[in-house]
Amino acid sequence: MPRQFPKLNISEVDEQVRLLAEKVFAKVLREEDSKDALSLFTVPEDCPIGQKEAKERELQKELAEQKSVETAKRKKSFKMIRSQSLSLQMPTQQDWKGPPTASPVMSPTTPVLPGATSQPTPAPYAMPEFQRVTISGDYCAGITVEDYEQAAKSLAKALMIREKYARLAYHRFPRTTARYLGHRRVDAAPPEEGLPDFHPPPLPQEDPYCLDDAPPNLGYLVRMQGGILFVYDNKKMLERQEPHSLPYPDLETYTVDMSHILALITDGPTKTYCHRRLNFLESKFSLHEMLNEMSEFKELKSNPHRDFYNVRKVDTHIHAAACMNQKHLLRFIKHTYQTEPDRAVAEKRGRKITLRQVFDSLHMDPYDLTVDSLDVHAGRQTFHRFDKFNSKYNPVGASELRDLYLKTENYLGGEYFARMVKEVARELEESKYQYSEPRLSIYGRSPEEWPNLARWFIQHKVYSPNMRWIIQVPRIYDIFRSKKLLPSFGKMLENIFLPLFEATINPQDHQELHLFLKYVTGFDSVDDESKHSDHMFSDKSPSPDIWTSEQNPPYSYYLYYMYANIMVLNNLRRERGLSTFLFRPHCGEAGSITHLVSAFLTADNISHGLLLKKSPVLQYLYYLAQIPIAMSPLSNNSLFLEYSKNPLREFLHKGLHVSLSTDDPMQFHYTKEALMEEYAIAAQVWKLSTCDLCEIARNSVLQSGLSHQEKQKFLGQNYYKEGPEGNDIRKTNVAQIRMAFRYETLCNELSFLSDAMKSEEITALTK
């Protein structure tokens, strides 16, 4: 059956939710405006008087509830469901594949009510015994049954919405979460089915630049309608407006789904519930660490050959134009000046300019340059000043040197930049255990950007087995429009995506681009998130074809249209047996909390995610959906958030899927191994254990665009299975105790949602 985008029939409830979402958006905008003047200062957000009054109201509500007979019945049924859930989550001795222990843990008898649906259970797995923390008694103490039920059902609905968009775009969604949401087809499908499809690396004897394996042309036609590219089998189908059978997104459905999430993040009972659960997760990890730290360490010590230094680590968020450190750039500039000063490197008004003349025009001698005079490192002056940070990409403040050394399109065809990238790649290959995912820019000014970038990649032989490439699209339409380079936002989208569709449909006619796309694993959306936009994205927003003003579209507008085209493209490429792409935008570094709502629907994973700290509902949703987050504390320390206040450690303890990344080594790092510098500083500042560091490293490989075959080699044959069963300690150096704790904790949190979803049926049966 062909995959189709499920459209919603808009109900009165949906319309009310949409109105509520508009109020939420307006409130967020007002808060942004009021905080702008105080952005450099730390202002406590919580009011003690307000907190006290809120607690008193909750207490009165709970006392009133205790007197209700109906509530007592429902609470009793919840307890019965809960006891069943807990008994099924605890692995019994018979389930263990490991050696029997002296004191087996026996599961309590499972109460099953007639007609009740069975509770999903974690799969059996091999693991050593460790000390668990369990909570007995009134499991929803401190929150009323009505509030718990409302919050849990709302969270489950949000996760189902996320799953819908993830599956349509071939993004990842945890099988465990899907199973607890009641999707039986998940158990029937093979575990590998939901994995992204990345091209495996060429074998040592194969040529990574071979152009002979392109599949045949199909001759389909592509046309843009409303900012989304539609595929047609032939001219006749185009005239009849019958597109090829692919899932094409529906804007009205998407905006209703987004409204549900926007309304949810301000819902009082849901905020209270999520806040309590997140506090519980953090406290539970502290207890786990206290009880099992030595057991985890003992497990790691008994693991031969493997330690933190020789587990694979991937730099999941790094920009190619800043992938070298400042000393490397300085050394390269001096080397080129010493070896080829009379080489023509630019052309101005028909006259060729040599490297020596470039430096003479800047009144400088490269011999006298130092890292300080190069001035590419971010410092105190860049804090909350993204404009000053962007200028750091210009060595010595000269845009001429940036164009010459850090661009792919210039008089030399990007040769100097390619040579520097290859030097960085060579260092990664020598380290053996470090990988990188550099971002290359496509601006959307012209459709020729793609062929030029592919030609640069092949001509300069930039391929490295330790690098996978991501394409970043800067959100700077307003600049191009003001310079009359683009007629509309729709034209920018067409320039970005049409060449990809053409290379997918007719690869024989675009062999270089087809080859380059094998090594591209995803797309990123980048720019200063703190830029203010007062336009709320909705189904009433102007379509990209008629967005002709010089005003920049809002963040959520960019994300939807990028996701929509990536989704259609992925389905077309999957149909052709080609690799697919992930959408991995910068999100939650600054600006509005609504950015994280858009990413929750559209992104496979995000970079930064700092603003999750401000929204307990979104933070809990990102935990339940295990959305990967690439965090860069050193980058944030220079731009938006002091290192000590960075939430990475807190997120790690709670169980969010975090990894460490460098962002821009040229601006933020001092050593040749920037990623190891990032790990070392995090370990020292937050006193992270070896198991913590190896867990972060394992997360980075899972988040990355490395192929299925590479992940099997680096993480183990069953890496795609969730929990301890998917962990091979011989390769990851992550203790099985830690993996079991993470898996059981996630199952426990998800069981609260599934219990609430079954509550009405159980209540009816017990009457």
Rounded to 5°, the CA angle 73-74-77 comes to: 90
Q: Is 261 left (phi over 0), alpha (psi -120 to 50) or beta?
A: alpha
Residue in 230, 223, 221 with CA at minimum distance from that of residue 249:
230
Contact indicator for 453, 499 with CB cutoff of 8 Å: no
The residue to which tokens 């690799």 are assigned? 579
Contact indicator for 681, 633 with CB cutoff of 8 Å: yes
For residue 589, CA distances in Å to 27, 95, 177, 261, 596 come to 20, 43, 27, 20, 10
Say which residues have a Cβ less than 8 Å from residue 683's Cβ, sequence separation at least 6.
692, 693
User: What are the beta bridge partners of residue 344?
Assistant: 354
Q: What is the Cα–Cα distance from 498 to 503, expressed in whole angstroms? A: 9
For residue 737, CA distances in Å to 127, 128, 132, 196 come to 7, 7, 10, 28
Residue 42 burial (C-beta neighbours within 10 Å; 0-12, 13-18, 19+) = exposed
> Quick one: which H or E segment has residue 59?
helix 48-66
Residue 473 burial (C-beta neighbours within 10 Å; 0-12, 13-18, 19+) = buried
Q: Is 397 left (phi over 0), alpha (psi -120 to 50) or beta?
A: left
183 flagged as catalytic:
no
User: How many CA atoms does the CB half-sphere of 145 hold within 13 Å?
Assistant: 22
Enter the tokens of residue 112.
Answer: 């099953």
Say which residues have a Cβ less than 8 Å from residue 18's Cβ, sequence separation at least 6.
255, 256, 259, 538
User: What are the beta bridge partners of residue 469?
Assistant: 520
Catalytic residue among 288, 608, 653, 657: 608
For residue 490, CA distances in Å to 421, 549, 551, 558 come to 33, 12, 14, 11
Active site residues: 608
